[in-house]
């Protein structure tokens, strides 16, 4: 605030006229200086009382403008935006400020209007300011971009925000986010993807930007890039939640890359990043099976059956074991499933058990199980074929 008042007073000599229409009495100058000092000390109430006592001459528009401008700064410091806006508007209406001071007041008024929700007013004020200012800062472009975005004037918003980012060697992260929001609102997803690529390079530890980039590529139906972005985030250790990791696994499965899915899920389960539940181990088993890694699939299904006394999981383990010709495991898993009970189709289990006994050379046990399987309609025909085959041998 002190810098502002120095700007106001630096061209004044106490009690002297510097221009025909800019006259400041010694009394007004001294009073405004004291108000400034009180504001510097955050003694806003005392500053306001002193400011209210100043009575500039009615014909001295410059004094009136300085007083109203000071009211504006004081009310703004007190976060009383309505009175601050009113004061700045009165100041500008007097048309008495020199060009630099007028520009500063316009800019401050625009900021207050935007903060108070008067976006249309802020845009009108900013457009006046842009006509006067020849050296626009990145911050001013960002302010204008934010204002235009709120009234859905996307072309102007994009232009200003792009200029803010391009002009600022250390562009604020919020400017990137604001521009990204405009691209989303304007359904400009290709340019959003390009911006997000910049954001992931500029702010590589911001997980949200990687996830957003992947999401945008998926919206653009570029699944290969979408998955590649997720994998890059994973490699940097940014994907840490169970949901993020399982979504990565499912995406690999969707892209028919089961081996990669299995590696990611197996690591997450063993490190505790994904909860060790029967459901997750069954998913890992199915993933390894899809990758034609039968032994891995069996190991995962074993873990699933250890975690939940579930008949269907044991039957699934028996089916996997039969593919690996692990007949002892087939028999054990089927027995467990039948003991637990509740199988949707127990006949399938008995048929598998009979086949396992047969391959182990235990024909008597195989025959007994196949005869039990005859009582199940779903496998009756197959069980009969096995009995006939054994009888013919």
Model pLDDT for residues 96-148, shown as the tens digit of each residue? 999 999 999 999 999 999 999 999 999 999 999 999 999 999 999 999 999 99
What would the two tokens of residue 233 be?
Answer: 């985030």
Cα gap 85→87, rounded to integer Å: 5
To the nearest 10°, the Cα dihedral for 304, 306, 307, 309?
A: 100
Q: 3-class DSSP state for residue 183?
A: helix
Q: Which of 7-11, 62-66, 128-132, 319-323 has the lowest mean pLDDT?
A: 7-11
Cα gap 150→119, rounded to integer Å: 7
* Cβ 373 vs Cβ 343: under 8 Å: no
Q: Give the confidence band of 58 by pLDDT, cuts at 50, 70, 90.
A: low
- DSSP codes of every residue in 172-211: -HHHHHHHHHHHHHTT-HHHHHHHHHHHHHHSTT-HHHHH
Q: Are strands 22-23 and 17-19 parallel, antiparallel or unpaired?
A: antiparallel
| Domain ranges for the chain | 1-119, 136-187
Q: Give the confidence band of 22 by pLDDT, cuts at 50, 70, 90.
A: low
In the block, tokens 């459901």 appear at 279
CATH T-level assignment (fold) for domain 1-119: 1.25.40
Q: Inform me whether the pLDDT recorded for 198 exceeds 50.
A: yes
Q: Inform me whether the pLDDT recorded for 239 exceeds 80.
A: yes
The arithmetic mean of pLDDT across residues 78-105, rounded, is 95
């Amino acid at each position: 605030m002190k810098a502002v008042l120095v700007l106001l007073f630096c061209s004044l000599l106490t009690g002297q006229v510097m221009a025909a229409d800019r006259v400041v009495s010694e009394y007004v100058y001294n009073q405004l200086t004291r108000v400034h000092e009180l504001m510097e000390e955050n003694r806003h109430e005392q500053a306001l009382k002193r400011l209210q006592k100043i009575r500039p001459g009615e014909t001295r528009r410059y004094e009136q403008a300085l007083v109203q401008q000071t009211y504006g700064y004081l009310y703004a410091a007190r976060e009383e935006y309505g009175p601050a806006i009113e004061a700045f508007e009165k100041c500008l209406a007097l048309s008495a400020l020199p060009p630099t001071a007028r520009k500063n007041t316009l800019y401050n008024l625009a900021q207050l209007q935007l903060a108070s929700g008067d976006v249309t007013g802020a845009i009108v004020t900013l457009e006046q300011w842009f006509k006067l200012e020849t050296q626009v800062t990145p911050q001013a472009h960002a302010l204008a971009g934010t204002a235009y975005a709120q009234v859905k004037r996307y072309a102007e918003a994009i232009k200003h925000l792009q200029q803010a980012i391009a002009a600022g060697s250390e562009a604020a992260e919020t400017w990137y986010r604001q521009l990204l929001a405009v691209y989303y609102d304007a359904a400009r997803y290709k340019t959003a993807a390009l911006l997000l690529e910049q954001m992931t390079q500029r702010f590589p530890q911001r997980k949200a930007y990687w996830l957003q980039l992947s999401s945008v590529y998926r919206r653009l139906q570029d699944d290969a890039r979408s998955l590649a972005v997720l994998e890059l985030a994973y490699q940097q250790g940014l994907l840490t939640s169970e949901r993020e990791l399982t979504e990565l696994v499912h995406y690999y499965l969707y892209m028919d890359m089961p081996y990669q899915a299995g590696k990611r899920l197996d690591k997450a389960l063993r490190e505790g990043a994904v909860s060790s539940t029967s459901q997750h181990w069954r998913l890992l088993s199915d993933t390894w099976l899809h990758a034609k890694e039968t032994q891995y699939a069996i190991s995962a299904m074993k873990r699933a059956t250890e975690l939940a006394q579930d008949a269907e999981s044991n039957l699934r383990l028996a089916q996997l074991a039969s593919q690996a010709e692990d007949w002892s495991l087939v028999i054990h898993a089927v027995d467990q499933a039948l003991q637990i009970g509740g199988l949707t189709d127990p006949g399938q289990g008995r048929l598998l058990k009979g086949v396992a006994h047969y391959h182990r050379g235990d024909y008597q046990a195989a025959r007994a199980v196949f005869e039990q399987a005859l009582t199940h309609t779903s496998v009756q025909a197959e069980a009969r074929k096995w009995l006939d085959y054994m009888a013919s041998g």
